[in-house]
């Protein structure tokens, strides 16, 4: 009987939790990432509902393990090779790397004016989707990080301070525990949605192809 009650409350919590996410109206890419990571880390401790509940409340308060944003330049040394793949260069040529600078373009200035915004590069209502780590305090950003990189690696893969070391990167499970996020469609639609003043219909498969940056099959690391 008692086990049954415990099981029910676990199920209830896991049903409620996604609802909590959806209920926030201004959810950002980072928030989706943060909770996904936290859920990954939590799966080992599902046996104690009190513990699970406490953790869920902590997540909602944003009281999680803090990994810092280090910036795409810190990923470049390893992710610019024939062996692992040239993810850095592919990203750097993509529109994501221009996401901050595009906010200074005549088009951005015009969009801003229509909304009473003087400088889109200083307005949260634009930066929200045009930089990495939006909504995270300065204390969660390493000195190597600069928001002018736009939508950098860590906007999709999570803050890298604790997973970027070679011994961790080589071990996918360790990397995920240290904050690496494996992005999915949810990651994208946190920004690619109708709150974008220039919204273009988002089709995951098509858009994914446009930003593809695979590890070559020959990778032997």
Instruction: Give the interface with ligand HEC as residue ranges (CB under 6 A).
Output: 29, 70, 72, 74-75, 77-79, 84, 87-88, 91, 95-96, 98-99, 102-103, 105, 107-108, 111-112, 115, 117, 120, 125-126, 128-130, 151, 153-157, 160, 164, 166, 169-170, 172, 182-183, 187-188, 190-193, 195-200, 207-208, 210-211, 213-215, 219, 221
SS3 label, residue 69: strand
In the complex with ligand HEC, which residue's Cβ is closer, 62 or 77?
77
SS3 label, residue 141: strand
Task: Assess contact for 183 and 157: CB atoms under 8 A.
Answer: yes
In the complex with ligand HEC, which residue's Cβ is closer, 55 or 112?
112
Cα separation, 41 vs 176, whole angstroms: 8
Minimum CB separation from ligand HEC for residue 5, in Å? 39
Cα separation, 88 vs 163, whole angstroms: 17
In the complex with ligand HEC, which residue's Cβ is closer, 49 or 85?
85
Minimum CB separation from ligand HEC for residue 74, in Å? 5
Minimum CB separation from ligand HEC for residue 96, in Å? 5
Residue 143 makes CB contacts below 8 A (sequence gap 6+) with none
Cα separation, 20 vs 29, whole angstroms: 16
């Amino acid at each position: 009987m008692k086990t049954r009650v415990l099981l029910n409350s676990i199920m209830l919590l896991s049903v409620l939790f996604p609802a909590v996410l959806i209920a926030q109206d201004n959810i950002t890419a980072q928030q989706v990432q943060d909770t996904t990571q936290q859920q990954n880390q939590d799966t080992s401790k599902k046996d104690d509902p009190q513990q699970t509940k406490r953790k869920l409340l902590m997540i909602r308060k944003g009281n999680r393990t803090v990994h810092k944003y280090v910036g795409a330049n810190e990923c470049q040394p390893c992710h610019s090779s024939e062996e692992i793949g040239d993810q850095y260069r592919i990203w750097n040529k993509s529109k994501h790397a221009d996401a901050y600078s595009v906010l200074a373009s005549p088009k951005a200035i015009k969009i801003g004016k229509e909304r009473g915004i003087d400088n889109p590069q200083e307005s949260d209502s634009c930066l929200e989707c045009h930089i990495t780590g939006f909504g995270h305090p300065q204390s969660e950003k390493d000195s190597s990080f600069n928001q002018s990189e736009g939508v950098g690696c860590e906007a999709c893969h999570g803050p890298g301070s604790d997973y970027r070391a070679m011994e961790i990167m080589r071990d996918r499970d360790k990397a995920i525990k240290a904050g690496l996020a494996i992005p999915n469609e949810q990651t994208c639609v946190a920004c690619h949605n109708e709150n974008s003043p220039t919204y273009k219909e988002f089709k995951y498969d098509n858009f994914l192809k446009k930003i593809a940056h695979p590890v070559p099959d020959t990778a032997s690391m």
